[in-house]
Each structure stands twice: as C-alpha cells, then as structure tokens.
Amino acid sequence: MSESSAASDGCAVRATQLTRRFGDFTAVDGVDFAVSTGEVFGFLGANGAGKTTVIRMLCGLLAPSAGEARVAGFSVNRQPDAVKRHIGYMSQKFSLYGDLTVGENLQLYGGVYGLKRHDAEDRGRELLSRLDLEQAADRLPTALPLGFRQRLALGCAVLHRPRILFLDEPTGGVDPVARRKFWDLIYELADGGATVFVTTHYMDEAEYCGRVSIMDRGRIVALDTPDELKKQNGARTMQDVFLKVIRP
Amino acid sequence: MTSAASTIPHLRFAGVRKSYGGTSAVAGLSLDANAGEIFGLIGPDGAGKTTAMRIACALLLPDAGTVAMLGHDVVTSPQSVKRHVGYMPQRFSLYGDLTVAENIRFFADMYDVPSAQRREQEERLMQFSRLAPFRGRRAAQLSGGMKQKLALSCTLIHTPEVLILDEPTTGVDPLSRQEFWAILKQLAADGHALLVSTPYMDEAELCDRVALMHHGQALAAGTPGEIKAGFTRRLLEITGQDALTALRRLTQKRNELAVSVNRFGDRIHIVYDEDRQRENVLSLLRGLDMSARHVEPDIEDVFVERMEREERTA
C-alpha cells in the first residue's frame, strides 16, 4: 500500500542504495526507502546504527559515497543547497538565542531564511498563535519552561514553510502534557501537507508515527506501520519489535 | 541482614525542601527506599529529581526536612554517605584516556578500597556488566550503553548499600536500556536499595515503587499498579479507517463535550468521566468506520490527569 504511493512522484524523500563510507568503515550500507508527502515517519535504530549519517545526507550536509537520495524533489548529491532551503531541522539541543525574546527569535530565523520583513512578521504572529506562545512573545526563552522552548524551536524550524521537517529527538525531557501538545502540532503540520521525519530512542513515540524504520549496522532491518511490525514480529509493543529485529 | 536493620529503610526522605532564590526545586518530598527495592523518581526536566538526589548525597543542604541513610542523617554524618552510597550523576566523569579497568581502579583508590577486595569486586563487575572483553579499551572508545555500564561499575566499586542513579538511561538505545535495567534488577535482588530517576514514563513499570515528580512534589507515589488504580477518569480508545474525520469532529467539540482528546498515531484516546459523555462521543462518530473500546490507563495517563488536577486547583 505504502510502497505504491511512495514510488510515485509525490514522495518527499526517496533513498536509493544510499551509501556512506568513512575510510574502511561503511556507516550506511545501500539503504532504500521512500517517505510519502504528509507522512509522519519514525526513524529508529541502535546507538551507532547510522541514523545520524543518513539524516546528515538527507539534509544536504554530507555527500553520499554511492547511491542517491532525493528530498523535496531535489537531489542531495547534485543540489544540496536547494535541499537545505526546502527542509526544516530541529534537534534536541535546539539553538535559541537566550538574549532575544520569543518573538525576536522568530524574526531572526525569518531573516536567516531570507523572508521579507512583512512576511516574517505575519508568519511570526501566525506561529505564536498556533504554537500557543502568544502570552510568552515578549519573554526571554531562558525564563520559560522547557515545553515552551521546544515549541519555539519548532516554530523557528517551520518559519519558512519547509516541505519536510526533520526532528531529532524533539521531545526529550518535557512533561507529558507538553509532549502531547507537541505531538498535536506535529500531526497538524502533517495534516497540512508537511512530511515529518522523526528520530527517537523512545518506543512509545514510535507508536505515534504512521510508519517506522529501524536501522542496525548501516542497514534498514524493518520498515512498516507500527501495527504491521508488531504483527510480523509477534510483538506486543514497539519496544519488543526493536529488541527482536536488532542483533545483540 | 539483621532484623534491627530491616526496620530502618536504607534511604528515607522526610519533608525535604529546597529553593534556589525564589524558585522551589523540591517542595516537601517524603519517601522510603528499602533494601531490595528499585524506587523510581519519574518526571520531566525541572521536576526536582536531580536536586533531591544531590541532597541525599549531601552535596546540597536542604532548607528543611532530613534525609537518612541507613538511619544516619546525611547532614550530620556525611561520612556515612560516602561509605553507604554510590551516586551516578547525569554526566558521570569517566576518564576517556584511561581504559575500562583503569577507570575502575581509579574509583577504587578514591574510595580506599583495599587491593584484594578491589580485585575481587572488579571481577564481579566485569562479569555482570559484560565489559570483560573490553577491559583494555579506552573509555572514550566505548558506545553510549557501555559507558553507562562502566559508570555504574565505578559507582559500585566500594559495594555501597544504596545506589542513587540520575537518569542513567537517557540517550541510550532500547537494547542497551533493557540490558541496563536487567542489571538494576539484579542489584536489587542482591539487596541494594536503588533510587533511579527517569524522564520516561515507560520505565516506571520497571520499578517496584515510583513517585511521579512535578514541580518538586510527588503527584502520586506507590507501586505502578497502585498508581494506575488511582486513575479516577475513564479512557476510550477509538480506531478505524476514518480516524482523521473522527479526530476533526472530536477536537471541534472537545470543550462542549468536556473530554480530553489525544491522538497517538492512528489511535484516538478520549478521557471522560460519565456515561453520558461517552454516549455523546459515540453519537458524534455515527456513520464513520470507527470502533471504540475501553482501555486501561498507563502511567502517563495518570501523570497527565494529576497535572491537570493540580493546575485546576492552583
């Protein structure tokens, strides 16, 4: 089902035999997968499995040694700068400016992404309201709870309306209410047509994704919906799936 | 274990408070952790977990209340802390240039462990952590999971009765986490008392007892089963082909219906109180290809309920 839609031109990310070597070490070993537009795609794996290397290639930050990947319709091999303009990236250690207010942080990122002043202001206002940050607009991020800072980091990552959003362990350390709020925003973005690519070590979050891939030693060893993966592996939870497909 | 000792908990917090400036980090925490028990402090960043642990290790003074280690007050007898406690902070300092074995020996020397005893304990630690094949490897070259196991081994070199571990599995992959928790279970079975903090709700299920920490207080404490039994609301899970339409209708009406609506992938959870509300939800879904069933809450559901209750009364 997902294969056919992924194979069409409507796919947001497609990796074909994507490979990266560092000297004699093959970090990513001929990986094939496709992510459809509007999907929430979970990208899991053991420590050192090659996840970060794949993400760096998909973001146009690292050239593949072999194979290809297309992101938002651009080749990471030949058009890495176009790729960078069409993606958003948020890591667990998000970079917010502590001396700038919440509103100013959004304006700054508007400038970084080359938005016109008016557009940046309109978009900033829109995001403050959507992210439930209006009452915090004039405060410094350092004075706000982690959940607020996380939502602001998400706002900065989507200011330029990227078609694909990469989230690297986005909810680490926040309370469960803030975490649910954050996932509501992720679904809202996906329902609006954005493709969301999420990495996490926490298997309950894997359950929230439409499809999940699991990497082990440079290869993708499982890829399907959480329900299918559980069925295929006779597992009750994604945690059990993970432990079954990863070789100790 | 003598009978006299068994009546005193290995670790006892009694009304512990600590503020930084005007900010209250720990706001009246009381708990006991007994020999053979894993006690979990479950909560997000900023809940006061680290402050509570640092007070127990006599690294911070409480503003009020006491912590006792095997009956000794940690403030008045700090030596008992050093002898009885193994503390693994969030960023444990291993020496990257030293090998696995050298790191363990370094900590043995810091704690004045006699060399005969050290050799014996080192062997045991290598066995149970399965680090023996890596004993000559430099700590900097270990994987994340192996570093955590080495840090735990260093914490155990002086055979402390009480172990205080601050988020030992944060950033560790699920396979290494499972292995790490198996080690913690073994330590509890050997008679240690363990106080372990984690931001992740699913790890609560691995503890014998837990406290759900928020704003420096325990919102709830008890066995995971007791905590889940304390859930006072009801939970309906809705799944099916028309999930998006269902979600749209439900979120539009959630205030009117006075229910919480949460999406978890292709499942929708409705938290409600009365039959009437369930009927209203089901009638809203009429005509859609969706089915509903009652589900039991998990620890996170309880945490969210308690946080919301707290905010309503605040």
Count of CB atoms situated within 10 Å of the CB of A230: 17
* Helix-helix angle B144-155:B115-129, to 10 degrees: 150
CB contact under 8 A, B44 and A176: yes
Average pLDDT over residues B63-81: 93
Each residue of A169-223: pLDDT tens digit? 888 888 888 888 899 999 999 989 999 999 988 788 899 999 999 999 999 999 9
Question: Which residue of chain A is at minimal alpha-carbon distance from B212?
Answer: A175
φ, ψ of residue B293 to 5 degrees: the values are -145, 155
Does the complex come out with an ipTM higher than 0.85? no
Query: What local confidence, expressed as pLDDT, does residue B6 receive?
Result: 54
Which residues in chain A (227-246) have CB-CB distances under 8 A to chain B?
A: 227, 239, 242-243, 246
Each residue of B202-226: pLDDT tens digit? 899 999 999 999 999 999 999 999 9
A46: which chain B residues are within 8 Å (Cβ-Cβ)? Answer: 173-176
Residue A94 has pLDDT above 80, yes or no: no
Question: Which residue of chain B is at minimal alpha-carbon distance from A42?
Answer: B265
Residue A6 has pLDDT above 80, yes or no: no
Residue A8 has pLDDT above 60, yes or no: no
Which residue, chain included where needed, has tokens 């509890």? B188
Query: What local confidence, expressed as pLDDT, does residue B2 receive?
Result: 46
Q: Categorise residue B125: left if φ over 0, alpha if ψ from -120 to 50, beta otherwise.
A: alpha
Distances (CA, A) of A188 to A182, A196, B244, B250: 10, 11, 11, 14
Please state the pTM of the whole predicted model. Answer: 0.88
Beta bridge partners of B68: B12, B73
Distance from the Cα of A81 to chain B's closest Cα (Å) equals 31
Distance from the Cα of A247 to chain B's closest Cα (Å) equals 9
Each residue of B146-168: pLDDT tens digit? 999 999 999 999 999 999 999 99
Nearest to A239 among B43, B171, B174 (CB): B174
Exposure class string for B94-120: b at 16+ Cβ within 10 A, else e: beeeebbbebbbebbeebebeeeebee
Residue B22 has pLDDT above 90, yes or no: no
Residue A102 has pLDDT above 70, yes or no: yes
Residue A153 has pLDDT above 80, yes or no: yes
Average pLDDT over residues A143-157: 90
Residue A243 has pLDDT above 60, yes or no: yes
Residue B141 has pLDDT above 50, yes or no: yes
Distances (CA, A) of A154 to A92, A110, A167, A194, A198: 11, 13, 9, 13, 13
Question: Which residue of chain B is at minimal alpha-carbon distance from A185?
Answer: B263
Query: What local confidence, expressed as pLDDT, does residue A3 receive?
Result: 34
Average pLDDT over residues B274-282: 95
Average pLDDT over residues B24-49: 95
CB contact under 8 A, A174 and B44: yes
Query: What local confidence, expressed as pLDDT, does residue B78 receive?
Result: 87
Distance from the Cα of A17 to chain B's closest Cα (Å) equals 25
What is the spatial order of strands in the sheet that B193-198 belongs to?
A: B85-88, B162-166, B193-198, B38-42, B209-214, B217-222
Query: What local confidence, expressed as pLDDT, does residue B308 receive?
Result: 86
Distance from the Cα of A173 to chain B's closest Cα (Å) equals 5
Residue A237 has pLDDT above 50, yes or no: yes
The separation between the first and the last C-alpha atoms of chain B, rounded to the nearest angstrom, is: 45
How many beta-carbon contacts under 8 Å exist across A and B? 85
A178: which chain B residues are within 8 Å (Cβ-Cβ)? Answer: 44
Query: What local confidence, expressed as pLDDT, does residue A9 receive?
Result: 62
Residue B4 has pLDDT above 70, yes or no: no
Residue A7 has pLDDT above 60, yes or no: no
Residue A1 has pLDDT above 70, yes or no: no
Q: Could you give the percent of chain A with pLDDT greater than 70?
A: 96
The sign one gets for the Cα dihedral B137, B143, B144, B149 is negative
Reported confidence tier of residue A146, pLDDT bands at 50, 70, 90: confident
Each residue of B92-123: pLDDT tens digit? 889 999 999 999 999 999 999 999 999 999 99
Residue A126 has pLDDT above 80, yes or no: yes
Residue B314 has pLDDT above 80, yes or no: no
Longest Cα separation, chain A: 54
φ, ψ of residue A115 to 5 degrees: the values are -75, 145
Each residue of B46-57: pLDDT tens digit? 899 999 999 999
Q: How far apart are CA A79 and CA B17, in angstroms?
A: 57
Query: What local confidence, expressed as pLDDT, does residue B58 receive?
Result: 93
